């Protein structure tokens, strides 16, 4: 089933064309990677899907009530804010709610504890985010996206500047999530793509190339 669909989507910033005539569909359980040069519009494309950027023309359609987990570029995340790992992750469940002085609900706490366990963050859950390594912070941001139980995870360069061990761990988490849900990943890890023969688009203002994996889930095929 199609969960995200872009039809002839064009985006301009101050009159400059950043995306031009993008046609793209993402299926449930797909693992779509987006590669391309810096400034080619990758982040703009996902921001358009998220509704953070308005297309100049064209149409974005999402499956009704689609729950998206968004993981922004962690390298741009402000670590100076004094907040603990547990609080960052739980914040993925309590958007738009006032939590001051009330404490967290039992459900929110339990969901957060589950994610902390899955991502093996127990030993750092009380730490302030300012003291984390890049790999740890990245996992925390993935946790924040996962805790709302999304149907698709959209990640913007989650492995940038990480060492091989951390990269492997993060790809492991994405693989597990992808067993029954979709992943859209902006990446520069070409070696990972070649090892895994994923669906991939090469984006430079337009979709220059689209390659499809042999493992691509078929429409209407349920597990």
Ligand X SMILES: Nc1ncnc2c1ncn2[C@@H]1O[C@H](COP(=O)(O)OP(=O)(O)OP(=O)(O)O)[C@@H](O)[C@H]1O
User: Is residue 187 a contact residue for ligand X (CB under 6 A)?
Assistant: no
Residue placing its CB nearer to ligand X in the complex, 85 or 200: 200
For the CB of residue 41, give the shortest distance to ligand X in the complex, in Å: 4
- Using CB under 6 A as the binding criterion, the count of chain residues that bind ligand X stands at 11
Closest by Cα among 36, 50, 34, 43 to 13: 43
11: three-class secondary structure by DSSP: strand
User: Is residue 200 a contact residue for ligand X (CB under 6 A)?
Assistant: no
The span from the CA of 7 to the CA of 21, in Å, is 7
- Binding to ligand X in span 31-90, by CB under 6 A: 36, 38-44
For the CB of residue 200, give the shortest distance to ligand X in the complex, in Å: 14
155: three-class secondary structure by DSSP: strand
CA distances, 158 to each of 63, 75, 169, 170 (Å):
25, 9, 11, 8
166 phi and psi angles, rounded to 5 deg: -65, -40
For the CB of residue 18, give the shortest distance to ligand X in the complex, in Å: 4
Which of 4, 9, 18, 116 is in the footprint of ligand X by CB under 6 A? 18
Residues that bind ligand X (CB under 6 A): 13-14, 18, 36, 38-44
């Amino acid at each position: 089933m199609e969960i995200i669909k872009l039809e002839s989507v064009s985006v301009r910033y101050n009159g400059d064309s950043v995306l031009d005539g993008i046609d793209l569909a993402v299926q449930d359980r797909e693992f779509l990677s987006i590669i391309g040069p810096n400034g080619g519009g990758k982040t703009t494309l996902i921001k358009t899907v998220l509704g953070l950027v308005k297309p100049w023309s064209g149409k974005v359609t999402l499956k009704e009530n689609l729950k998206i987990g968004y993981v922004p570029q962690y390298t741009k995340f402000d670590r100076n804010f004094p907040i603990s790992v547990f609080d960052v992750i739980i914040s993925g469940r309590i958007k738009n709610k006032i939590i001051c002085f009330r404490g967290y609900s039992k459900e929110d706490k339990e969901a957060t504890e589950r994610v902390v366990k899955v991502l093996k963050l127990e030993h750092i859950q009380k730490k302030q985010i300012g003291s984390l390594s890049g790999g740890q912070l990245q996992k925390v941001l993935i946790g924040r996206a996962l805790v709302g139980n999304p149907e698709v995870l959209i990640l913007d360069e989650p492995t940038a500047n990480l060492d091989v061990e951390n990269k492997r761990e993060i790809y492991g988490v994405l693989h597990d999530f992808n067993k029954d849900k979709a992943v859209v990943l902006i990446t520069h890890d070409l070696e990972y793509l070649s090892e895994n023969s994923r669906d991939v688009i090469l984006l430079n203002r337009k979709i220059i190339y689209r390659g499809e994996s042999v493992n691509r889930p078929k429409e209407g095929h349920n597990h």
